[in-house]
Amino acid sequence: SLHDAKLPYIVVLTDPTTGGVTASYAMLGDVHIAEPGALICFAGPRVIEQTIRQKLPPGFQTAEYLKEHGMVDMVVARKDLRATIGRLLALLLPNNVAA
């Protein structure tokens, strides 16, 4: 596993990332990158509101909202993902293995 090998688990959340994927491995990463405007959720707003009996703010399931609230580390356009992941690997891998 990545953990046993001491390698970072970098997750890229695209639009949409929903349901069981979100509830399972998508949110277990060491670093979470989301695409701008991506819908990231386990259940729809109505289901969540009925479950917690609270009104939720608009856009609470967007990449930007989740970043503002610490659930996503960064929001990066798809065209910039390769460079961003490369920089992350250069920072996180021992002995600059990513180079």
Please report whether residue 88 resides in a domain.
yes
Say if CB 15 and CB 38 are below 8 A apart. yes
Q: Rounded to an integer, what distance in angstroms lies between the CA atom of residue 6 and that of residue 93?
A: 8
Give Dmax (Cα) for the chain. 50
Name the token pair of 59: 């856009």
Please report whether residue 78 resides in a domain.
yes
Of the pLDDT bands very low, low, confident and very high (cuts 50, 70, 90), residue 92 is very high
Who's near 41: CB < 8 A, 6+ residues apart?
A: 16, 17, 18, 22, 61
- For residue 75, what is the domain's CATH number? 3.90.226.10
Please report whether residue 69 resides in a domain.
yes
Please report whether residue 64 resides in a domain.
yes
Q: Given a cut of 70, is residue 16 above it in pLDDT?
A: yes
Please report whether residue 98 resides in a domain.
no
Cα separations in angstroms, 42 against 7, 32, 56, 78: 27, 16, 14, 22
pLDDT at residue 88 in the model: 97
- More confident call, 79 vs 56: 79
- Torsion region of 36: left, alpha or beta (phi above 0 gives left; psi -120 to 50 gives alpha): beta
Please report whether residue 2 resides in a domain.
no
Domain of 75, in residue numbers: 10-92
pLDDT at residue 61 in the model: 93
Please report whether residue 99 resides in a domain.
no
Who's near 46: CB < 8 A, 6+ residues apart?
A: none
Please report whether residue 45 resides in a domain.
yes
* 23-66 per-position pLDDT tens digit: 888 999 999 999 999 999 988 878 888 888 998 888 999 999 99
Q: For the full predicted model, state whether its pTM sits above 0.75.
A: yes
Of the pLDDT bands very low, low, confident and very high (cuts 50, 70, 90), residue 72 is very high
- Domain count of the fold of the chain: 1
pLDDT at residue 50 in the model: 83
